[in-house]
Structure 1
Amino acid sequence: MEAIEINAGAWYLRALRADDRIDDRPALAAGGVTDPDHVARRNAQWDAETHFSWAVCDPVTAELAAEIGVTPAGDGTAVVDGWARPGYEPALDAGLAAVRRFAEGALGLRLEA
């Protein structure tokens, strides 16, 4: 499955990127994610449909404020989790609400509490 963008009001959610236009790796590092293969792995997980992840971004600068993921369990259920860079907790909260709606409505998953 290709990554799907989600509008979360004041924030927008998109696939993680590390290319000549947008590079999320510095913002990921500021959030404690320093694995150089993190972005490539997340994109491969979309392709394999084993984990769906989003960068929660500022709509003006496209800077990553948080990351949210959905991990399907294979039985129709999934776990949704995420983290935010310091000071960006409102972005995480807005993104989590939007991703939960997407996971249930578009992916048909039952979310574990």
Structure 2
Amino acid sequence: MEAVEINAGAWYLRALRDDDRVSDVPALADLGIDDPAAFVVAADEGWADESRFTWAVCEPTTGELMSLITAAAGQPPVGQPRSGRQQSLDDALPVVERFLQSL
């Protein structure tokens, strides 16, 4: 399946990116992910084989990643906010849960 974008009110959820227009690599490094570029590739693969779904919870006007949500197939979503961005995660997790229930 292709990555599903979700409008979560004040937040925009999208697939992770690392291209010449948008890169989530610095934000993922900020979250403590050891190899953020490889993490983006793995996230794309997870969507493709439907084994793991990953979203960047973003500020809609800038597209900046505020928190990260992942869910392995059949598992509840888990997330991690960047420092000071807990509200983005709190608002987005229930939306992702509803999406996953619809699969």
Flag whether TM exceeds 0.5 (same fold).
Answer: yes
Cα shift at 1:34: 2.9
Cα distance between partner residues in 1 of 2:34 and 2:98: 29
- Residue 82 of structure 1 pairs with residue 83 of structure 2: no
Counterpart of 1:111? none
How many residues align structurally?
A: 102
Counterpart of 1:93? 90
Cα shift at 1:52: 0.4
- TM-score, normalisation: structure 2: 0.95
Counterpart of 1:60? 61
Deviation track 1:51-98 (CA, whole Å, cap 9, x = no partner) reads 0010000001100011101111xxxx3221110101000000111011
Counterpart of 2:18? 18
2:66/2:82 contact within 8 Å kept? yes
Gaps of 5+ in 1: 108-113
Q: Percent same amino acid at aligned positions?
A: 48
Cα distance between partner residues in 1 of 2:17 and 2:70: 15
Cα distance between partner residues in 1 of 2:70 and 2:77: 6
More helix by share: 2
Cα shift at 1:11: 0.3
Cα distance between partner residues in 2 of 1:17 and 1:34: 16
Larger radius of gyration: 1
- TM-score, normalisation: structure 1: 0.87
Cα distance between partner residues in 1 of 2:86 and 2:100: 21
Q: CA RMSD in A?
A: 0.9
Counterpart of 1:37? 38
Gaps of 5+ in 2: none
Cα distance between partner residues in 1 of 2:95 and 2:19: 26
